[in-house]
Amino acid sequence: YKKEIDKFIGEPITLEKLDEIKIFVVNYFREEGYPLVGVNIPVGQDITDGDVYVIIQVAKLGVVKVEGARYFSKERIKKQVRLKPNEKISTNKVIQDLEWLNDNPFRNVSAIYQAGDSLNETDVILNVEDRVPMRVYGGYENSSYTIAGSSRFVGGFNLGNLFKSDQQLNFQFMSAKKINDWWGIAGNYIIPLPWKNILKFLGSYSRAVSDEAEFQSVTGKGWTVASRYEIPLPIIGNLSHDFIIGFDFKRTNNFLLFAKNLAFDEFIDVAQFLLKYQGTYDDSFGVTSFELSAFYSPGSITKNNKTSKFEIERPGAKSDYGYIDLDIERVTRLKADLSWVINFLGQLSFSKLLLSEQLSLGGSFSVRGYMENEVTGDSGILLKNEIRFPCIRFQKKSLKNTLQFLAFLDYGFATDVDKSVVESSKSLLSVGPGVRFNMSTYLTLRFDYGFQLIEVNGRPFQNGGRSRGHLSVIASY
């Protein structure tokens, strides 16, 4: 501070210069994370010797108040604020505490500064908008996996305040139109820790039946358990970021989500460690979010986690491997309430990977207009572009509805480490329109229609077409 304010030394003392000093001091403290600062230059002081006295008062916390919380404990929310009475109010601390509180999808917390009872004190008012921390949902998707057919049904529940401690429990059931062909369950358990780290446990199980072999059917089974430990890092300017460590364990005897004939007599285990750095950066034009993930498997952790097992699915694949993923999304605000959303996903590997670890392209959340998992590769990129038109908002009775149209251009490319494998193009390119509709929190509809601009392996698309619609309808209560 002293180094920067020294620039005023030697300047003539005028009213304009004194105002400039006040503005400089206020802006300096705001940039340092203290937005509530008072600057006073006492009148009547003798400045004939060139000395000017400036009184700087940084607001200190009076009390924290919680308003509006109906389903979450006000006292518990209040305790999540790290500021203590009489402590200087730091914007970064308040923002990070709000991010922590807003990690729970069943509430939204905002902060308002209000003059306190004592001089130079400011109270922080936490305004909470929450809803019953329980959700039950069901829906339909036409996400077409090879084994599951063209229809997929989903149902599940979300609990957002388990044991009244902000813990979350999420569960989902999925199935094909014929439940015996394919079904699966997935869930996670999220525990916010007292020292403001997050512990997550994830799991899934699936069962599929393939009748590709003549006169017999093959049952494929697979399950996954995983854990994540998230460490929020101090905010730097407009950057909010976290560091995550994790471990995945997967056991399966099939890859039927990729092809009907990929079922085996033996199980294969995947055991890998994860390091991830993720963040969000806000600027005057929009928001950028990113995730950089590094996966590593030392191999031979279990009897089924050996190279000999991996080679059953892919000759040359080894149980010790590593790969890196980079996911970047940029939302840019344009004129006339338009927005441009661009998403880049890249994967780099110098090892032959199993299908479950390869980059998969095609489908509703990848290159639209193609089947799910149309092409795969050890390395590759996915580039999605969307122009989103202004939201149309309308209300019917107490239901707040939003309707939004968009146009997209998707591109994906995948390649394998094994250059000896002769394959046709593994590039995908599509263009098309889309629509999003939300009826308050009760109904969500997503529809995209993609037109293929590159044909895959020279074969026509399902049902002879070269386009595909992707529909998802979820009703919840």
Which residue is listed with tokens 């059931």? Answer: 173
Answer for the pair 268, 354: CB distance below 8 angstroms, yes or no: yes
Phi-psi region of 42 (alpha: psi -120 to 50; beta: other; left: phi over 0): beta
Q: What does the pLDDT profile of the chain (477 residues) look like in tens digits?
A: 777 787 888 888 888 888 888 888 888 888 888 888 888 888 888 877 888 888 888 889 999 999 999 999 999 999 999 999 999 998 889 999 999 999 999 999 999 999 888 888 899 999 999 999 999 999 999 976 666 677 899 999 999 999 999 999 999 999 998 898 889 999 999 999 999 999 999 999 999 887 655 445 668 899 999 999 999 999 998 999 999 999 999 999 988 777 666 778 889 999 999 999 999 999 999 999 999 999 999 999 999 999 999 998 899 999 999 999 999 999 999 999 999 999 999 999 999 999 999 999 999 999 999 988 889 999 999 999 999 999 999 888 778 899 999 999 999 999 999 865 555 458 999 999 999 999 998 999 999 999 999 987 654 344 446 899 999 999 999
Of the candidates 166, 172, 224, 240, the residue with the CA atom closest to the CA atom of residue 198 = 166
pLDDT given for residue 68 in this prediction: 95
CA 380 vs CA 349, 364, 376: distances in Å: 9, 18, 9
Distance of alpha carbon 124 from alpha carbon 112, whole angstroms = 6
End-to-end Cα, the chain, rounded Å? 54
According to DSSP, the residues that pair with 137 across neighbouring strands are: 156, 476
Residue 71 CB coordination number (10 Å):
15
The CATH class, in words, for 134-476 is mainly beta
pLDDT given for residue 51 in this prediction: 84
Long-range contacts at 252-256 (CB < 8 A, ≥ 24 apart): 252/220, 252/221, 252/222, 252/223, 252/356, 253/220, 253/221, 253/222, 254/208, 254/210, 254/218, 254/220, 254/221, 254/222, 255/313, 255/354, 255/355, 255/356, 256/146, 256/147, 256/182, 256/208, 256/210, 256/220
Distance of alpha carbon 378 from alpha carbon 423, whole angstroms = 14
- CA torsion sign, 253 to 256 to 258 to 259? positive
Distance of alpha carbon 22 from alpha carbon 14, whole angstroms = 13
Q: 60-130 and 134-476 share one CATH topology?
A: no
Amino acid at 112: I
Query: Which option is the CATH number for 60-130: 3.40.50.450, 3.30.420.40, 2.160.20.10, 3.10.20.310?
Result: 3.10.20.310
Query: What predicted TM-score, i.e. pTM, was given to this entire model?
Result: 0.89
Which residue is listed with tokens 């995209």? Answer: 448
Q: Where are the domains of the chain?
A: 2-58, 60-130, 134-476
3-state secondary structure of 77: helix
3-state secondary structure of 398: coil
CA 181 vs CA 63, 150, 205, 208, 390: distances in Å: 59, 12, 14, 5, 41
Distance of alpha carbon 262 from alpha carbon 220, whole angstroms = 9
pLDDT given for residue 420 in this prediction: 56
Burial track 383-410 (b if 16+ CB lie within 10 A, e otherwise): bbebebeeeeeeeeeeeebeebebebbb
Helices and strands: H and E segment counts in the chain:
5, 24
Of the candidates 64, 157, 150, 69, the residue with the CA atom closest to the CA atom of residue 112 = 64
Distance of alpha carbon 394 from alpha carbon 106, whole angstroms = 23
pLDDT given for residue 462 in this prediction: 46
| The token pair that represents 107 in the structure block | 């509430």
